[in-house]
Chain A
Amino acid sequence: MNLADEELQRNIEKGHRIDDSLDSRAYQKVFDALKKEPYYLPSHFADRVMLRIDAQGSLSKDYFWFGLGLVTLIAGACVAALLANFKLDFGTFKFNSGYPGLFLFGVTFIALIHYVDKRFLSRMIHNR
C-alpha cells in the first residue's frame, strides 16, 4: 500500500483538514460520491413483496389441488378401464407404423420450429 495515499484516505475519512493538492481534492470527490445512495426503492415496496408472498402461498395450494385432481382422474380412469374391460388399441393411428420416417420427420420438424422460435425469434422480438 502507498503510505501517502493511505494517510490521505484516513484523514479524509476522519474529517481532518486536507491540503489543496490534486490527490487530496480527487479523494474528497471520491469520498463524497461514495456516500450517495445508489438506488431507492418505491414507497410501496413492502406491499409488493407481501403480495408476492401471498401469490406464492396460493400457488402452492393450486399445485396441491391440481395434484389431487390428477391422481383422482388417473384412479377413476383405471377403475373405469377395469369395469369396462377396456383394451388398448391405437385404431386409426396404426397407419403410422407403416411410415416411421414420416412420424420421425413430424416430431423433428415441430421440435425444430420450437427451437428456432425460442432461440432466435423470441430474442429478436424482445430486443426490438
Chain B
Amino acid sequence: MTEDRALVSRIIEGDRQAFRLLIRQNERLVAHMVGRLIDRDEDREELCQDVFLRVYEKIGEFNFQSKLSTWIATIAYRQGINHLRKKKIELRDIPEEESFTAHFISEDNPEEALADQEMEAITLKLINLLPAQYKTVLTLYHVDGMNYNEIGEVTGMPEGTVKNYLFRARNLLKEKVKRYLGKEEVL
C-alpha cells in the first residue's frame, strides 16, 4: 500500500516513468481480464490501452480504499463489459442453473466439433463459451490469484456470489470435459 501511495503521488506530479512502471506492473492483470472477455485480437490491445488511458485520467481520484491493482482491475472489468455492450455482444445474466447447465453441457457434439484438438485447447474453448461473469471470476481467481473479497471489489458481486460462480463454472466445465474424456475412453 505504501508503494502504491508513492507511485500514485509520483504520477500525479507528472512523472512519466512512474506511470510507465504502473503499466508494467499491471499490464498482465489487464491483459488477462480483457483477453478472457474479448474474443477479437484486434480489439484486445486497443481495449487494454483504453484501460490505462482511463487509469491515467482518473488516478487523482484513487482513494487508497483498495489495492491499486484491484482498482485497475475494476476499471478493466467495466471497460470490458462496456465494450461487449457497445459491440452488442450478448451479455446475458447467469440463467437459471438447471436450464443453463443442461444447455451448456448438451451444446454441440464432441466428435463433430472438436475431435482433432488437444484436450487443453478444448477446455480453453469451453471457458470462452461461458458467460462473461463466470469468465471474469475464474480468471481473477485462477490466473491472477485474487481472493473472493478482492474479486467482489472488482466485479461488485457479494463474496457468496463469487464463491458460487466459481464453483458452478468449474462444475459446468468439468461436466463438459467429462463428455470428451468419456469419448476418448470409448475410442
User: B31–A32 contact, CB under 8 A?
Assistant: no
Stretch at the interface among B2-10, B81-89, B107-115, B174-182: B174-182
Task: Please give, as numbers and ranges, the residues of chain A lying within 8 Å of B34 by CB-CB distance.
Answer: 39
A1-B167 contact in complex given A27-B174, A42-B45, C-beta closer than 8 Å: yes
Task: Please give, as numbers and ranges, the residues of chain A lying within 8 Å of B16 by CB-CB distance.
Answer: 50
A32-B171 contact in complex given A22-B182, A23-B178, A49-B52, C-beta closer than 8 Å: no
Expressed in whole angstroms, the Cα–Cα distance for A36 and B125 within the complex equals 12
Cβ proximity bits A1-43 to B, threshold 8 Å, 1 near / 0 not:
1100110010000000000001101110111111111111110
Interface size on B, residues (CB 8 A): 41
CB-CB nearest 5 A-B residue pairs = A39-B35, A33-B123, A38-B35, A34-B142, A26-B178
Stretch at the interface among B18-26, B63-71, B147-155: B18-26
Expressed in whole angstroms, the Cα–Cα distance for A31 and B32 within the complex equals 16
B37 to chain A, nearest CB (A): 9
User: A6–B167 contact, CB under 8 A?
Assistant: yes
